[in-house]
Structure 1
Amino acid sequence: MPIDIAFLAIAEAQQLYHWLPAALELARRPDVRVHILSPSDQILALAASYDPQGLLRPIRLRRPPSGPDSLFRQPSRLATLLLNYPAIVRFPTLVTTEISSAWLRRIPGFRSRLILIKHGAGDREGGYKKRHADFDLTLVAGEKDRHRMIDRGLCAPDAVAVGGYSKFELKAPRQRYFQNDDPVLLYNPHFDPHLSSWPGHGAQILAVLEALKGWNVIIAPHTKLARKTPPIVSHAPHIRVDMGSRHSIDMSYTMSADVYLGDVSSQVYEFLLHPRPCIFLNLDHRDGSGDAFAHWRLGQVIERADALPQALACANDLQPGFVAAQEAAMQQSIDLSPIAASRRQADIILNFVKKSA
């Protein structure tokens, strides 16, 4: 009898890259049917663009009242779950990358297995919520996050497994975004207003970036920040601003940049798939000893925006001193096994489903 597994695609497009490789791998397995449930035609179309063989079975959920369909603005997750509850719970196994789906546990009679593919690298405390405990199985990228989930009492040791970072399998190739051969700096501010460098210092940072000589600059904030902040606008010819596109979520920029500039975004680990210079902004003079700032050990940390040109000037010379730390951080945060993460994730999910049947 075929095994039916449903992936809940009710989050914004940036999360799709964390579950789609496992969904495609499972769909290739004999006697497994993989269904993609989403209230968004755009999300379903994005998934289909990576599925030329048509292995996945899309199901368009009813859409709660909301704005126009968009990759980066989806309707209320809770409203989507409630409106489509009968269509969702007919599947015995539900896989998701967001924790709003844990609310299904609160509905009397809910019996489906809930599996979470956790996105991110496990640095920021905001990545640990009580609702994580409502999942039957959690897959994380590396041992660091696994230990933190267990230590916080959110998972029993046998309910959390390391599956790697399957998004790497969908990464875009290095691309050319500018007409000249100047090196490319990627500025990637985080969305958390209490930790991000942009909300309090955006104008100052933009002025420094616009004044840079001999550099091309891509400004690509986390898509959650892009939704909350006024559009970043620059007419400088060496600056490209992306407030939310496929390029901003498929690793196009992290693969194409020469230097990374950021604050606390775990996207730095996507950049460090190939070790390169990193510069971190501590413009609020924070104590960087906490977990949220763990990757500040992987590059220069500057406390004034006007220190950026000098930091860039010496970035390549200083990089050899950071390579060992970058490689160690990647090993701890993301398990880079020679076995594809999508295959490991599919094996973990399928073994769990068979044992639970």
Structure 2
Amino acid sequence: MTSKRIGFFHMDEIHHINHFISVAVELSRTNEVSILTYPGEHKYLYHSLSKFKDHKIRVVQKHTHWFRAFTDKLKNRDLPRKGFWMTTNQKYLLNNFDAVVFTDYFHHKLLKARGGKISPKFLKFPHGAPGRDYSYNKDQLDFDFQLLFGPFHYQQFKEKQLLGPHPVIIGYPKIDAVNLSQKKHFFKNNKPVVLYNPHFSPPYSSWHKMGLDILEYFYNQKEYNLIFAPHINLFKNKGGEDAAQISKKYFEADHIFIDLGSEESVEMTYLNAASIFLGEVSSQVYEFILKPRPCIFINTQKVIYKNNSNYRFWKLGEVIEEVYELNNALKNAFSNFENYKEIQKKITDENFYQAPNSTASQRAAIAINKYLEKN
């Protein structure tokens, strides 16, 4: 097999890293693998790589245009604007790689610049289990090769006519990149731990309508511990929420732990530590039920969801609409769990393909190597 030059783009927040890092490591055993990114410290990226002792990955930091960098700084942007970065570096990207890997949809300018050429190949990785309509982007058809997590993923893409020429089901590589066996303790008691994990998008998120009321509810009760760990984007530029609105008393309460976007919030640390999941439409709930446990969902928009595949999450537990309903939902969470345990297992099997004697990352690397060798 001929060694290939493969570039992984890291142009997003850190929650994308664990969706590609272990596959990049596997590919680096037989290929020249680079992580292509912007100038910066990249502490979490290097920390993630340090977990793998035998990788041969290069991290290549490329600048955007000097004027765009200047305006990005003026606007206090955490990340460079991807389109301008692509344009500035397109000759390097198109001439030095056999394949480039994306975890999101910022490929358009590079695809246009590639024109009718067949190289580099564009490979698409998801950055979360399929759930809302965001997962079903028509731009999927721009890619030469698609990694899919499981049979549900494949069937949904087939029904929505989003399967490209080379879709491959490999499983869920993120579980190869994080430590699922280590359970961290955040409280000095043995009370049940509720993880409140609101999404950052206002049309779907419970935070904007009732988030502070939910924190107040947990502050005033003593039966449960609460971890408040929202989507990493909620209190960043993309979500736009201001942490100053969260009262100091919540940060100081012994039975409440708050993380508004650290590295631990993208490593399944809080999912492993929790007894009950509380949220709306975050695909993190699919990671939570890898070990089946009670879930409570908040329908802030009062949508009719029963036969809507965008709300498939809500088959996994009780759905409430108001904060006052939390009391009974929590009280009954463990006794009602038997009603949801089997559907949780079934949906996990549908979501994430598994096979004996290999990991998802190994299967992904084998599939990519085969594809690139043939094409």
Short-chain TM bin: over 0.9
Structure 1 residues without counterparts, runs of 5 or longer? none
Q: Residue deviations 1:111-163, cap 9 Å, x none?
A: 3100011122222002222221110011111121222222222224x421111
Q: Which amino acid aligns with 1:118?
A: P
Partner of residue 55, structure 1: 56
Partner of residue 17, structure 2: 16
Going from structure 1 to structure 2, the CA distance change for 1:212 and 1:170 (only over 3 Å counts) comes to: farther
Q: Tell me how far apart the structure 1 counterparts of residues 354 and 294 of structure 2 sit (CA, whole Å).
A: 20
Q: Tell me how far apart the structure 1 counterparts of residues 316 and 146 of structure 2 sit (CA, whole Å).
A: 28
SS of the equivalent of 1:226 reads coil
Q: Tell me how far apart the structure 2 counterparts of residues 108 and 8 of structure 1 sit (CA, whole Å).
A: 16
Q: Tell me how far apart the structure 1 counterparts of residues 300 and 83 of structure 2 sit (CA, whole Å).
A: 36
Partner of residue 198, structure 2: 189
Tell whether the 8 Å contact from 1:122 to 1:145 is kept in structure 2 after alignment: yes
Partner of residue 252, structure 1: 269
SS of the equivalent of 1:301 reads strand
1:100 and 2:119 matched = no
Q: What displacement does 1:348 show? A: 1.1
Partner of residue 38, structure 1: 37
Going from structure 1 to structure 2, the CA distance change for 1:44 and 1:326 (only over 3 Å counts) comes to: closer
Q: Tell me how far apart the structure 2 counterparts of residues 189 and 283 of structure 1 sit (CA, whole Å).
A: 11
Q: Tell me how far apart the structure 2 counterparts of residues 60 and 300 of structure 1 sit (CA, whole Å).
A: 46
TM-score, length-scaled by structure 2 = 0.88
Q: Residue deviations 1:224-258, cap 9 Å, x none?
A: 22212111442322111111111100110111111
Q: Tell me how far apart the structure 2 counterparts of residues 53 and 161 of structure 1 sit (CA, whole Å).
A: 26
Q: Residue deviations 1:183-215, cap 9 Å, x none?
A: 211011112211111112222222212223121
Partner of residue 300, structure 1: 318
Matches within 5 A, 1:1-357: 1-29=2-30, 32-39=31-38, 40-42=40-42, 44-63=45-64, 65=69, 66-67=72-73, 73-89=78-94, 90-107=96-113, 109=115, 111-156=119-164, 158-172=165-179, 173-227=182-236, 228-231=240-243, 232-233=246-247, 234=250, 235-289=252-306, 290-338=308-356, 339-356=358-375
Tell whether the 8 Å contact from 2:28 to 2:55 is kept in structure 1 after alignment: no
Structure 2 residues without counterparts, runs of 5 or longer? none
Tell whether the 8 Å contact from 1:6 to 1:35 is kept in structure 2 after alignment: yes
Tell whether the 8 Å contact from 2:29 to 2:55 is kept in structure 1 after alignment: no
TM-score, length-scaled by structure 1 = 0.92
SS of the equivalent of 1:36 reads strand
Q: Tell me how far apart the structure 2 counterparts of residues 73 and 244 of structure 1 sit (CA, whole Å).
A: 14
Q: What displacement does 1:337 show? A: 2.8
Q: Tell me how far apart the structure 1 counterparts of residues 142 and 47 of structure 2 sit (CA, whole Å).
A: 29
Tell whether the 8 Å contact from 1:6 to 1:34 is kept in structure 2 after alignment: yes
Identity %: 30
Q: Residue deviations 1:73-115, cap 9 Å, x none?
A: 3222212212221222221211121121243111255631000
Kindly report the root-mean-square deviation, in angstroms, between the aligned alpha carbons of the 2 structures.
2.0
Q: Tell me how far apart the structure 1 counterparts of residues 355 and 201 of structure 2 sit (CA, whole Å).
A: 31
Going from structure 1 to structure 2, the CA distance change for 1:73 and 1:218 (only over 3 Å counts) comes to: farther
Number of residue equivalences:
351
